[in-house]
Amino acid sequence: MVEFRSSLLISLVVAISCFSTDLMAQDSGQHLRLTEKQQVLIPIAAYTARGDLERLQPALHHGLNAGLTVNQIKESMVHLYAYAGFPRSIRGLNTLMDVLEERKTEGTFDEQGQDASPIHDDRDKYERGVETLYELTGSDWGNPQSGYGAFAPAIDTFLKEHLFADLFERDVLTYAERELVVISILSSLDGLEPMLGGHFNLSLNVGLTSGQLQHFVDIIKSTLGDEKAGVTQLVLERVLENRNQE
């Protein structure tokens, strides 16, 4: 009887151990890959930023089929104008309208999704933007004494009051989703490596993992080609190396 109980105990320990190992493996896998909805945001943002409307159309179909709501895609394009300009954003929105009309004609009615919740905060927008930046970076960005913010105070005000208050406070997309949109834009355009590095850091701060960012680079490669992916990879490697040395 004692032998039977010992055997049963050993079997239970082994089973629990295997189950825990399986959970750890699953968790590791989740941290190495972006979700499907996160993945499909990347080509949508990249093609919109580049004005590649021919490739944007199938990317929009793919995004909608993967479960992105209409409002999530619209929000990504609204957010995009702060980095790539109104013309790219508006062309992207017009393309989305065409795709939705085409799908409606074919009998596909896509989920609209939630609208942005009203903001009930009476504080000065500059103060709110500074607070959002602190949440994203862990650093105080109020009243800069040097750099572009001191050189051109107007752009510092616009950046904090509009981008980090008006846009980042909207809850249609999470911080992580917004950062995926931003690094997609910055990876697709030329000469923005310093900003890309900064936003890779922000991406890690808001919960994306190094493995997920490597997955992001893989998607950039299939979306934009080897050259863009190579530059993006180098920027990511520098960011991860610097963080490991801190």
Which CATH number covers residue 94? Answer: 1.20.1290.10
Token readout for 197 is: 């590095």
> Do 134 and 228 belong to one domain?
no
Task: Indicate whether 96 and 138 sit together in one domain.
Answer: no
Residues 178, 238, single domain; the answer is yes
Q: Cβ of 75: how many Cβ atoms within 10 Å?
A: 24
Whether 178 and 164 map to the same domain: the answer is no
Helices (H), the chain: 2-32, 36-50, 53-65, 70-84, 86-105, 125-137, 147-151, 153-158, 175-188, 193-205, 210-224, 226-245
- Phi first, then psi, for residue 30 (nearest 5°) are -65, -35
Q: Based on the domain organization, do 187 and 234 belong to the same domain?
A: yes
Q: What pTM does this model have?
A: 0.86
Q: How many domains does the chain have?
A: 2
Q: Report the C-alpha gap between 88 and 94 in whole angstroms.
A: 10
Q: Output the six-digit token pair for 188.
A: 């697709």
Do residues 214 and 105 share a domain? yes
What is the amino acid identity at position 96?
Answer: L
Determine the Cα–Cα distance for residues 93 and 76; give it in Å rounded to an integer: 10
Does residue 146 fall inside a structural domain? yes
Q: How far apart are CA 161 and CA 153, in angstroms?
A: 12
Has residue 240 been placed in a domain?
yes
Question: CA–CA distance from 167 to each of 72, 85, 201 (Å)?
Answer: 13, 14, 19
27 within domain boundaries: no
CB 186 within 8 A of CB 176: no
Q: Do 151 and 177 belong together in one domain?
A: no
Per-residue pLDDT of the chain (246 residues; tens, 9 = 90+): 444 344 433 443 333 344 333 433 334 444 789 999 999 999 999 999 999 999 999 999 999 999 999 999 999 999 999 999 999 999 999 999 999 999 999 999 999 999 999 999 989 999 999 999 999 998 887 778 889 989 999 999 999 999 999 999 999 999 999 999 999 999 999 999 999 999 999 999 999 999 999 999 999 999 999 999 999 999 999 999 999 987
2 in a structural domain: no
Burial pattern 123-133, b for ≥16 Cβ within 10 A else e, equals eebbebbbbbb
Q: Which residue range is the domain that position 145 belongs to?
A: 124-170
Q: Which residue has the tokens 């800069």?
A: 144
- The single-letter DSSP state of residue 85 is -
Question: Which DSSP symbol is given to 143?
Answer: S
- Examine the domain organization and report whether 140 and 192 are in the same domain: no
